[in-house]
Amino acid sequence: MVFSTEGKVDYREGQSIGVIPPGVDANGKPHKLRLYSIASSALGDFGDKKTVSLCVKRLVYTNDKGEEVKGVCSNFLCDLKPGSPVDITGPVGKEMLMPKDPNANIIMLATGTGIAPFRGFLWKMFFEEHADYKFNGLAWLFLGVPTSSTLLYREEFELMKEKFPDNFRLDFAVSREQTNEKGEKMYIQTRMAQYAKELWELLKKDNTYVYMCGLKGMEKGIDEIMTSLAAEDGYDWQEYKKQLKKNEQWNVEVY
């Protein structure tokens, strides 16, 4: 969804905005803001710096008592009609800011709506023209989803791949529809394992930056594959990761 900001919200790729849903909570207090990763480049979807885009999944689940619970903010957003007013705050966030180096290797690991910041990155790299930035590096996106119908922005990414085959690599992991050679479900780390050596070689370079965004559970699976890769090369992954983090080469935003 796209919000008109009239140019009053100046943000960078990889930041988040807060949304304050109307009404009060169970204690009669105003709802707290919810943070959402921005899904557009700093120029916005119309290139005029007057909009901000979000990618929101409607949260509905059954609690321990068997009652249906609806996420307050996601349902408010998903039920909005065009033209409705929304209270937003921000922007905030430094963890996921895009590297300024136009020759960097940028590995993006996303699950579900965690694709949001990477859409902003990729628009800046491949759909926009900037006087001070022309991307000449390698952008490699891994997107993990349960079903192919939930491959968000698929057409945009496939167009980028078609237009910039030397600079953009795209790998989907569709866990309920795909399996690997051993018949295991294709999660994001399963797909990464197929390129294990190549990813590890890239990770050893000073100009490689890794970004991870999505559900908390994804971190464990990715850590497991990195641990075995590092060990094969005589490295302790946890120590190596600390160094990468210190150099701002390993950036994580999970929820």
The one catalytic residue in 11, 13, 16, 37 is 37
Quickly tell me which residue has 């994804």 as its tokens: 218
146 is in an annotated binding site: yes
113 is in an annotated binding site: yes
* Catalytic (active site) residue 187: no
Cα distances (Å, whole numbers) of residue 218 to 5, 32, 61, 108: 33, 26, 20, 13
44 is in an annotated binding site: no
Quickly tell me which residue has 């949001």 as its tokens: 116
Whats the size of the chain, residue-wise?
255
* Catalytic (active site) residue 148: no
- Cα separation of 72 and 70, whole Å? 6
Q: Pick the closest to residue 225 from 165, 180, 177 (CA basis).
A: 180
* Catalytic (active site) residue 162: no
12 is in an annotated binding site: no
85 is in an annotated binding site: no
Q: Pick the closest to residue 125 from 110, 109, 138 (CA basis).
A: 138
DSSP codes joined into one string, 192-254 = HHTTHHHHHHHHTSTTEEEEEEE-TTHHHHHHHHHHHHHHHTT--HHHHHHHHHHTT-EEEEE
214 is in an annotated binding site: yes
253 is in an annotated binding site: yes
The one catalytic residue in 198, 239, 248, 255 is 255
227 is in an annotated binding site: no
37 is in an annotated binding site: yes
89 is in an annotated binding site: no
* Catalytic (active site) residue 239: no
* Catalytic (active site) residue 228: no
For residue 66, how many C-alpha atoms fall within 13 Å in the half-sphere facing its CB? 0
Cα distances (Å, whole numbers) of residue 42 to 86, 123, 198, 255: 20, 9, 31, 23
The one catalytic residue in 53, 213, 235, 240 is 213
The one catalytic residue in 11, 13, 36, 55 is 36
145 is in an annotated binding site: yes
Quickly tell me which residue has 């569709």 as its tokens: 174
Annotated binding site: 37, 57, 113, 145-146, 175-176, 185, 214-215, 253
Annotated binding site for NADP(+): 37, 57, 113, 145-146, 175-176, 185, 214-215, 253
Catalytic residue set: 36-37, 213, 253, 255
